[in-house]
Amino acid sequence: MERLSVVIITFNEEQNIERCLRSVRWADEVIVVDSFSSDRTTELAKNHADTIIRHVYDGDIPQRERGFAAASGSWLMYVDADEEVSAELQREIRSVLGAPDAVVGYELPRKSFIFGSWIGHGGWYPDYTLRLFRRDRYRAEPAEVHGGFTADGPRGRLIGFLYHYTYESIGHYLAKMNDYTSLQVSNKLREGATGPADSVDPGRLVLSPCSHFLRKYFSQRGYRDAFHGFLLAVLGSIYTLALYAKLWEYQLRDREGKGVRPPITNLELQRLKRP
């Protein structure tokens, strides 16, 4: 059976890290890349991880790449600190590692626990994401937020759950939304570099949030998650409004050359938050 290295990036994850690490302790190697947490994250991680690397945070992809570079396994997997590998998924991965006909990468289905409830609709599930791949066949797809990896060759899908204990509260969602929408402006501008740039007008600011709500709540059946589904569709609409409003603000400042352009990269946000 080939060796598997699991990489986890952290920053102030003392509430989640032990649950996550216990769920991957069966792997051949577990590497934690920490962004100088100020809580007990690294202290708790020492009980379960083989290696802990500390580096200033400059984005999810660079941090994970540091872990991959230090890994010794022929297979790589990354898990977020607020995720947990189910027992069924563990058995499937073990089977893949021992299979002579294994493909080069596997997408895993995430199931999210949000505001105290498991979410099964509204685009939240099944949330397939490529997390397991051969170390010599993957490529990074950099982005300031929601970046990922791809595999060069055939992929497969596993059915065991990767549990995702995401937003604990509405306040937590809104705090994350502020950062994510700022960083996604950078993604939008980068997309515009290879095609028509996104133009933002009052119509888009009104119609995009409405379209998001209708898609999530009705087309993707968010209503089947009862009030949680309604709330997530509404919050997603607010997210969409904030994103396009920030994109409009950035383009206006850039075009007129007046005022300070708002932060849209991880390094800019880190400098803004630094005391």
Antiparallel, parallel or unpaired: β 29-34 and 4-10: parallel
Peptide bond into 62 cis (omega under 30): no
What residues pair up with 90 in beta bridges, in sequence order? Answer: none
* Rounded CA separation 170/193 (Å): 34
Q: How many Cβ atoms are within 10 Å of 247's Cβ, its own excluded?
A: 24
Return the pLDDT at 275: 61
**In a structure prediction context, what are the per-residue pLDDT tens digits for the chain, which is 275 residues long?**
799 999 999 999 999 999 999 999 999 999 999 999 999 999 999 999 999 999 999 999 999 999 999 999 999 999 999 999 999 999 999 999 999 999 999 999 999 999 999 999 999 998 999 999 999 999 999 999 999 999 999 999 999 999 999 999 999 999 999 999 999 999 998 876 444 445 788 889 999 999 999 999 999 999 999 999 999 999 999 999 999 999 999 988 888 877 788 999 998 988 887 66
d(C-alpha 10, C-alpha 80), whole Å: 8
Phi, psi of 272 (to 5 degrees): -65, -35
Tokens of 109: 């289905």
Strands 51-54 and 29-34: parallel
pLDDT score recorded for residue 198: 59
Contact 81, 48 (CB under 8 A): no
Rounded to two decimals, the pTM is 0.93
